[in-house]
Amino acid sequence: MSSNNRPLSPHLDVYKLPLSAIISIVHRGTGAFLTMGTLVLVWWLMALAGGEEAFMSAQDFMGSFIGRLILFGWSFALFFHLSNGIRHLIWDVGYGFEKDEVEKSSFIVIGTAGFLTFMVWVIAFSSGIGG
């Protein structure tokens, strides 16, 4: 039998990933993004300690479109990772393993992360902190 006649293994383009698998992948990604965001926070704190010129430079970057995009992504990653972490704690005590419960909790994680991110940014801009 030649190598061209061997059956192919299923691949990601053949099967649709369930939402819970996508959530799991995103959870890992948000964990990595939180690490990178923490490095930005450390840079900002070092600029704060470095004097007015260094701090104003950091503030200018954070207030730019790219800086705000990073902060927005970081805040979403924080709330997503937190929400999914709470879901995992619930799973750790033995609840929520039925297929419909997993699907429902996946949507709850996405909705909670989106809502909390939106609320933080609305509060920040309406109170003058963000703008």
Residue 45 lies in a domain: yes
- Asked, for residue 44, whether it belongs to a domain, the answer is yes
Residue 116 sits in a domain of what CATH number?
A: 1.20.1300.10
If one counts the domains in the chain, the total is 1
What would the DSSP string read from start to end of 86-112? HHHHHHHTT---SHHHHHHHHHHHHHH
42 is in which domain, residue-wise?
18-126
Tokens for 68, please give them.
Answer: 């705000």
Q: Note whether residue 2 is domain-resident.
A: no
Q: Are 102 and 90 in contact (CB under 8 A)?
A: no
Comparison of pLDDT for 13 and 50, the residue scoring more: 50
Q: Is residue 108 part of a domain?
A: yes
Does the residue 4 lie in any domain? no
Does residue 107 sit within a domain?
A: yes
- CA quadruple 90, 93, 96, 102: dihedral positive or negative? positive
Q: State pLDDT tens for residues 51-93.
A: 999 999 999 999 999 999 999 999 999 999 999 999 999 999 9
CA torsion, ordered 34, 37, 42, 46, to nearest 10 deg:
-170
pTM of the model: 0.85
